Chains A and B, each alone.
Chain A
Amino acid sequence: MRPAQDNQGSFLGRISIRRNQFVDVNNEQEQEDLELFQKHIADRFTELLSPPPPPQPPSDEANTVASVAATEQIMSVTWLRKLMDVFLCCEAEFKAILLMGRDPTQISKPPFDRLVPEMLDRSIKALDICTAVVNGIDSVRHYQRLAEIAVRALEQRPLGDGNVRRAKRALANLVIALSLEDKENVSGGGGGGGGGNKTTERSWSFGRRSGGSSAASKGGATIGQLKSTSWAVGRNWSAAKQIHAMTANLTPPRGNEAAGLPQPMFIMSTVMVFVMWVLTAAVPCQERSGLANHLPVPPKHLNWAQSLIGIHEKIGDEWKKKEKKGSAGLMEEMTRMEKLGHSLMEFADGFHYPAEKDAAESAATQVAEMAEICRRMEEELVPLQQQIREVFHRIVRSRAEILEVLEQAGKLSAPVV
C-alpha cells in the first residue's frame, strides 16, 4: 500500500527525455506540486496524531475492544509501523519533486550546492540511526522473551511456589531491563567493549561464573556484568548526538527560497529527523541523554507541521517524564509491559501456596494481558525491523540517485575540452 513507490526507477530516463522541454520552467506547475506535497505531509501526520477509530469488532468482551484501540495508540508497534510507511511515502514523493523533470544543473547551483550536501549528510546519519534502532528492537525482543517466560510460568496450574519463583526471576530481569537508562545499560564489565545496549540482553537469572546461583535460588535477580563488544554502531556513537547533528543546519528557508524547492527539502529533512527521533525514543538506543531537547520544533504557523508538532509534544512530554526515572524506551507495549511486570511482581512477592482465589484471578487477567502484548510483539517486531531496513535501503538508493544527477550536472556544466 505504498502508491508513491511507483515513482522510483527510471527517473533518469525521464529527465533526459524532458530535459529539452525544461528550458521554460513551468512555475505554476511546480507551485502546485509543492502545495500538494505539503498537504500530503499534513494529512499523513494528522492521521498519525489521531488515528481513525478502529472498526468496532462485534465482540462482547470489553477487553478485546480496549486492546484493539491500544494497538493504534501513539508509539505502539503498530503505530511505529505506520510511521515507517508514512516516511516511505513522503520520501518517494519528495524524490519525485526533487528529481523528476528537473534540469540536473539546477540542483547543483546555489543555494542547492549547500542544501543538497547538507541533506545527504543528514541522510547518512539517519542510516546509522536505523542500524542502532534495528539493534534496539532486538533488545525489545529479548524483553519479550523474558515476559514470555514469566507468562508461561504463571500460567501453570496448579500454581506452585516453584512456578512463581521462576516467574519472579524473569519479571525482575524484565522490570530492571525496562527501566534501565542507556548508561546503565552499557555494560559495566568494561574491557574492550564500547558502549552498547547489550547488558540487558545478556542478563540472565544469575551472575555467571561469579557464584550468582545463590542469589538466583532466593528468587532474586542479578544482572550479569558481562562485557560486551557488540555496540551496535560505533564505539563512541551516540543517538542523541546524531539527532542533534542532523538538526544542526536545519532552518526553514526564507525570502525567495521559501517559495521554491528549498521548502520541500526543509520539510523532508524535518520529517526525516522527526522519524529518527521517534525511533530512538521508542526503543533502547545507544546513548540518548537529552534527547528531548534535540529536536527543534518547526515554526507553528506552518500548516504541514501542526500534527507533527502535536505528536512531538506528546512524545516529548513522555520522554521527559521517563528520563527522570529511567526507561529503556517509550514503545507503548514496553510501557504497559513494565506496569504489568511491577504488578505481577507484587503478586509474586505476596504469593503463598496454594494460591488465593481472588489474587490468582486478577493475576490471571494480567498474565493474559501480558501474553497478548507478547503475541503482538511476536507478530510485529520483526516486520518493524524489516521496515526499518527498508527505510535504510531507500535512503541509500535515493542518495545514490541524487549523487548520480549531481554527477550528470557536473558533466553538463563542465567546459567542453
Chain B
Amino acid sequence: MAEFESKLPVSGGKNHVFEACHHVVKALRASDNNLDANLRKLLSDLESHLSTFGMVDTKVEEDTGFSDMDERFKEAVKRILGWETNQSTILEAGPSEANHFFQALYEVQTFLMGFKAFPIKTNLKEKDVYNQATVALDIAMVRLEKELCDVLYQHKQHIKPEYLAVSSRGKDIVYDESFVSLDDEVVVEASSLEDDEQTLGFQAADMVDPLIIPHIKAIANAMFACDYGRAFREAFISVRREALDEYMITLELERLSCVEVLQMDWEDLNCAMRKWTKVLKIITQVYLPSEKRLCEQILGDFDPISTACFIEISKDLILSLLNFGEAVSLRSCQPEMLESFLSMYEVSAEILLDVDNLFSEETGSFLRMAFHELSKKLANRTTTTFLKFKNAIAANESSRAFPGGGIHHLTRYVMNYLKLLPKYTDALNSLLENLEVDDSIPEKTGQDILPSTFSPMARHLRSIVTTLESSLERKAQLYADESLKFIFLMNNFHYMVQKVKGSELRHFFGDEWIRKHIARYQHNVTDYERSTWSSILSLLKDNNDSVSTLRERCRLFCLAFDDVYKNQTRWSVPDPELRDDLHISTSVKVVQSYRGFIGRNAARIGDRHIRYTCEDIENLLLDLFECLPSPRSLRSSRRR
C-alpha cells in the first residue's frame, strides 16, 4: 500500500470514490448476514483500508476489525511519540520517514474522526483509545509546529545584497547644504558625481530553499486537516516576520517617530529620506512579491488564509514605512528638500502598481489606499517645495557685491540642482502639468523640435532660470564699477549656458534658449569692453597734437592702464576658455590701438616718455581676470 501513502488530505474527488466503495462494502454486508468467513474478512480488510484514505465512517463492529485498527493505531501513536523529543527535523530524516510520520498522523486523525461520527455506541476501551488519540494528535501538532519553524528558519534565503545597490541614485548627497546657508562667501562647487544607477531587473526571489516547499506544504495540509490551521498560521507568520525584521536590520532601516523626524537636522533627514526611498522600492518590488509568492506556494489551497498571512507578515513594516512618509510630510517644505521629496514622490508613485498587486484583495485594501494617499500627499509636498525653491531664488538678496565678479554660488547651486532634475522627468511633468508658469519661450519657434523642450517641466525650468536671472540682475546693480557688473553677468550667464549645454538640461531648455543666452553673455563682453576701454583708447587718437600733448596722452594712457591692471587682475573669470576669448578680444583692440599710436608718434614722444612697449601691454593684459589675491601695482615692478 506504500504507493497510497500520500499526503493529507485526500483530494475531494478521490474521497468520493472511497466513500462510494465504502457504501458498497456496507451494503454487501447488510444484504447477507451469512457471508462466509473469508469474504467477511476480505470486506473487513477492505473497509479498514478504505477508512485509511477517506473521511468516512471507520466504525468497525467486528472484533477482528477493531483489534486490527488497534494494532495499527498503536503503531501510529508510537511513531508520533518517537518524534516528540527528537530535536532533529523530520525533513532531515528523509522522505520515507516523513511519509511514515504523516501516515501515522493520518491514522490517528482518521480514528478520531470516526469516533466522533459515532460516539454513542462506543465502549469504554474505545473511549480510552479516543483520549489517547487526542493526546497523540496534539503531540504530533506541536511537533509539526516546531518542524515548521525549524525548517523555515534553517532554509531561509535572503534577498541578495546586489538589490541594495539598485536605485541608489546619483550617489550620495550632492546638495546637503541648506539653501539659506548661501551667503556671499565663495563656496567650492560640489562635484556632481556621475549617476551609476544600475538597471537590475526586479524579479521575485526565493525566500526559502524551494526544495523544502513540498515539506512545508505537507505540514500545512496536515495541520489544517487536523483543525490546527490557526496554530500553523501563527507560527508561520511569526517566523516570516522575524525573517523580515532581520532583513530590515541588514537594510539598516530605523523606525523614527514623528517627533524625531521633525527634530532631525537636515543632513540626517536627507539620509533617512534616501534610505526610505531605497528600502520602499526593494520591499515593494522584490521582497514582498517574493514573500507573497511563498505564502501562495504554501497556503494557496487555503486562500484567503494565504492572503491574510501575507498581510499579517508585512503589515507592521508597511505601516512603519507609511508612517515615515507621513512624518516627513509634516515638515515645512524647505527648498533644499526638493530632490529628496522628488525621489520620495517618484518612488511612491512608481510602486503604486506593485502595491495594488500585493494588496489586491479586500483584506489589504487599507494598505493599498494608504499608499495612494501617501503618494498624493508627497506629490503635494513636492510641488510646494518646488515653488518654494523658486521663491527662495527670487527672495535671495545680497547686501554687498559679489567679490571679483565671479560665479555667484546661487547660480552654482541652482544650476547644479537643476541638473539633478532630469532624472525625475516623468514625476515632474505630472506634478507641474497644471501649474501655471511664465515661460520665456511660449511657443514652438525656431529650431526647437524636441517635445521635451515644451514639456511642463521644461517651461518651469526655464522659468526658474528666469527668476535666477532677475536675482542676478539685482545683484549686479550692487557693483560700483560698471565694468565689473558686466563681467559678473557675463560669468554667470556663461555658467548657466555651460551647465545647460553640457547636460541633459539642453533637451529641456532647447537651442533657442541656448542661442539667446550665448548672445546675452557675448553682449556683456561688448559692454565690458566699451565701458572699460573706450575712454582709455580715445586717448590714443591722433589729432596732430603737439609733443607735449602727445606726451601727456601717453602718460594718461599709462596711468589709466595701470589703474585697470590694478583692479582687473583681481577680477575673476573662472572659465579658462571664456577668459582666453576675453583676453584675445581685449588684446586685439587695445594692443592694435597702442601699436598704431606708438608707431606714429614714438619718435616725437621720445623713448624716455614711453613706459610700455606693445609687448608689455600684450603680456600685461593676460594678467587680467586672473583673480590675483592682492592688488599688483605696475609702477614699482614694471618700471623700466
Contact = CB atoms under 8 A, between A and B. Distances in A.
Interface stretch (A19-27, A95-103, A202-210, A302-310): A202-210
Contacts of B256: 234
B330 A161 contact: no
A213 interface: yes
10 contacts: A127-B258, A127-B330, A204-B234, A213-B85, A213-B87, A230-B255, A233-B257, A353-B131, A396-B329, A403-B332
Contacts of A230: 241, 245, 255, 316-317, 320
B135 interface: yes
B281 interface: no
B264 to A, nearest CB: 11
Interface stretch (B94-102, B143-151, B495-503, B536-544): B143-151
Interface of A: 124-125, 127-128, 131, 134-135, 138, 145, 148-149, 152, 156-158, 160-163, 165-166, 169, 192-194, 202, 204-206, 208-209, 211-214, 216-217, 226-235, 237, 242, 353-354, 386, 389, 392, 396, 399, 403
Interface in B145-174: 145-146, 149-150, 153
B258 A128 contact: yes
Contact of A206 (B145, B239, B254, B257): B145
B249 A192 contact: yes
A234 B142 contact: no
Contacts of B136: 162
A135 B316 contact: yes
Nearest to B136: A162
Contact of B258 (A124, A160, A206): A124
A135 B143 CA distance: 31
A249 B258 CA distance: 20
Interface in B476-504: none
B548 to A, nearest CB: 56
A235 B139 CA distance: 39
Interface string B293-337: 000000000000000000000011101100100110110100000
Nearest to A224: B238
B615 to A, nearest CB: 53
A131 B153 contact: no
A232 B258 CA distance: 12
Contact of A161 (B87, B131, B150, B234): B131
Contacts of A169: 142
Interface in B116-140: 116, 119, 127, 130-131, 133-139
Q: Which 10 A-B pairs have the closest CB atoms?
A: A162-B134, A160-B134, A162-B138, A234-B257, A162-B135, A229-B245, A353-B131, A128-B257, A233-B257, A160-B131
Q: Determine which residue in B84, B227, B249, B257 has the highest number of CB atoms from chain A within 10 A of its CB, and name it.
A: B257
Given A208-B153, A213-B146, A217-B84, A163 B330 contact: no
Contacts of B116: 157
Contact of A204 (B119, B145, B320, B330): B145
Contacts of A162: 131, 133-139
A313 B150 CA distance: 49
B523 interface: no
A134 B227 CA distance: 30
B235 interface: yes
A131 B146 CA distance: 33
Contacts of B127: 158, 354
A145 B262 contact: no
A227 B238 CA distance: 12
Q: Determine which residue in A131, A157, A192, A228 has the highest number of CB atoms from chain B within 10 A of its CB, and name it.
A: A131
A229 B320 CA distance: 12
A202 B234 CA distance: 9
Contacts of B142: 169, 205-206, 213, 216-217
Given A163-B134, A208-B146, A386-B366, A202 B241 contact: yes
A242 B139 CA distance: 46
A217 B141 CA distance: 10
Interface in B209-248: 227, 230-231, 234-235, 238-239, 241-242, 245-246, 248
Contact of A160 (B130, B139, B241, B316): B130
Contacts of A229: 245-246, 248-249
Interface of B: 84-85, 87, 116, 119, 127, 130-131, 133-139, 141-143, 145-146, 149-150, 153, 227, 230-231, 234-235, 238-239, 241-242, 245-246, 248-249, 254-260, 262, 315-317, 319-320, 323, 326-327, 329-330, 332, 366
B130 A158 contact: yes
Contact of A149 (B131, B231, B260, B316): B231
Given A202-B238, A403-B332, A128 B259 contact: yes
B149 A124 contact: no
A211 B258 contact: no
Given A205-B142, A211-B87, A234-B260, A160 B255 contact: no
B138 A209 contact: no
B78 to A, nearest CB: 15
A163 B138 contact: yes
A160 B245 contact: no
A231 B146 contact: no
A198 to B, nearest CB: 9
Contacts of B315: 138
Nearest to B231: A149
A148 B227 CA distance: 12
A212 B329 CA distance: 46
A160 B87 contact: no
B319 A396 contact: no
Given A128-B259, A217-B139, 13 more contacts: A125-B259, A158-B119, A162-B133, A165-B135, A205-B142, A205-B145, A213-B146, A228-B245, A229-B245, A233-B257, A242-B259, A396-B326, A396-B330
A124 B241 contact: no
A124 B230 contact: no
Q: Determine which residue in A158, A208, A386, A396 has the highest number of CB atoms from chain B within 10 A of its CB, and name it.
A: A208
B149 A134 contact: no
Nearest to A201: B238
Given A229-B245, A230-B316, A237-B257, A145 B234 contact: yes
Nearest to B254: A235
A130 to B, nearest CB: 9
B65 to A, nearest CB: 22
Contacts of A205: 142, 145, 231
A201 to B, nearest CB: 8
Nearest to A132: B257
A228 B133 CA distance: 37
A399 B231 CA distance: 44
A47 B89 CA distance: 58
A131 B131 contact: no
Contacts of A399: 330
Q: Determine which residue in A127, A148, A211, A403 has the highest number of CB atoms from chain B within 10 A of its CB, and name it.
A: A127
Contacts of A148: 230
A134 B367 CA distance: 14
Given A209-B149, A229-B249, A234-B260, A204 B133 contact: no
A162 B135 CA distance: 4
Nearest to A392: B326
A202 B134 CA distance: 26
A228 B241 CA distance: 10
